[in-house]
Amino acid sequence: MTYTVQQAQEDFSRLLKEAEEGKEVVIARDGKPVARLAAVEARTEPRKRRLAGQYAGQFQYPDDIFKPLETDEELREYGFDVLIDGKEPDEPAA
């Protein structure tokens, strides 16, 4: 069934009830459909619980992965603009 925005505002609880019963509820503005109201499907199976540490030992990474980037070359390698003597790289040295 199609309702205007005004009708939907005035009797929203009835529209919700219709949607819960599986009926199609469409809300239109100026005769054009803009929204469809539908019931939410109930979850049939319980949500799986996530376990802390369930992936422990399955991933390996180098020991220096958290080592700070120290040299200008390292910074450039990862796409960081490097300040040289406090100036942008494109600025001429004073």
- Residue 33 confidence (pLDDT) above 90: yes
Residue 81 is encoded by which pair of tokens? 């603009």
Inter-CA distances, 12 with 7, 16, 26, 36, 40, Å? 8, 6, 12, 13, 16
Average pLDDT, the chain: 85
In terms of CATH architecture, what is 2-37?
3-Layer(aba) Sandwich (3.40)
For residues 8 and 31, give the distance between their C-alpha atoms in angstroms, rounded to a whole number. 14
Residue carrying structure tokens 């939907």: 8
Order of strands, sheet of 25-29, starting from the edge strand that comes earlier in the sequence: 2-4, 25-29, 32-37
Mean predicted confidence (pLDDT) in 32-44: 88
- Residue 61 confidence (pLDDT) above 80: yes
Domain residue spans of the chain: 2-37
DSSP state at residue 24: -
pTM comes to: 0.45
